[in-house]
Amino acid sequence: MKNIRIALFGILILSSLMVLAQKTKGSSKPFIAEITYKIDYVGNWDPAVLAQQPKELKVYVYGNKMKTVIDLSGMGYMTNIQNGDDTTSVALIDIPAFQLKKYIKTPKEKLLENLEEIAPQINYIDSSKEIAGYKVYKAEYIVEDEFGDPITTVVWYSPEINDGKINAAGDFPGLKGFPMEYITTQDEGSIIFSVGEVKTKKVKIKETDFLIPTDFEELTEEEAKELFGGE
């Protein structure tokens, strides 16, 4: 199980990653796009672990729905589906070598409970720049750790692409736009996410792409503990 735990380190990327989605103003057609994040790692990362981590991330958007797929260095895929319409999140685990096709669904009640627990403070800063052709704005997203100490994440966000509705199912609930650039911190160091491209033309994305595949089964608590090393 050690190898699968290393492979599943990719879920940290999924859990750290916020999503992009909204309907274009004044139009009945959903906003559809393929967004590419560049990922940089800074710090004292184990070379064996780092070698398996992605250097970019593809995000697929259909209206208020988003799907992120990570290639686990050929071992399989980690997929996260977030739905801003019903405020739910689903993680798909697909690793053929272990004959593993499982999903973990987080319901609306749990997401709202998490939001109430973290009670974020968001400071909007009078500063802007351009990322991937979009004007983005600076914000400080502040939450408390288990000891009550503040953790501040600087986020550059764009209200032009997303008005923030889908953020309830991500890592930045309450933010008035989707994150174009931000940094997450792990024990080994930092992970820097920065959008390099937002592709909106000739993108083949269907609403059915955001459903749970019929050949996936729900992951039990016991299986989750075995896979992720929980108690």
Per-residue pLDDT tens digits of the chain, which is 231 residues long: 555 555 555 555 555 554 444 433 444 678 889 999 999 999 999 998 888 788 888 889 888 888 988 877 778 888 999 988 888 999 999 999 888 899 999 899 988 888 888 889 999 999 999 999 999 999 999 998 888 889 999 999 999 887 887 777 777 888 998 889 999 888 888 999 999 999 999 999 999 999 999 999 998 777 777 776 655
Which amino acid appears at position 50 of this protein?
L
Domains of the chain: 2-228 (2.50.20)
Question: Which residue in 174, 125, 177, 126 sits closest to 154, CA to CA?
Answer: 125
* pLDDT value at residue 210: 94
Helix (H) or strand (E) holding 98: none
Which three-class secondary structure string do you get for 29-73? Answer: CECEEEEEEEEEEEECCCHHHHCCCCCEEEEEEECCEEEEEEECC
pLDDT of residue 20: 40
- What is the chain's length? 231
Q: How far is CA 105 from CA 23, 30, 50, 144, in A?
A: 24, 24, 27, 25
Q: What is the pLDDT of residue 7?
A: 53
Could you write out the DSSP letters of every residue in 116-166? HHH--EEEEEEEEEEETTEEEEEEEEEEE-TTS-EEEEEEEEETTT--SGG
Q: Taking every pair of C-alpha atoms in the chain, what is the biggest distance, in angstroms? A: 51
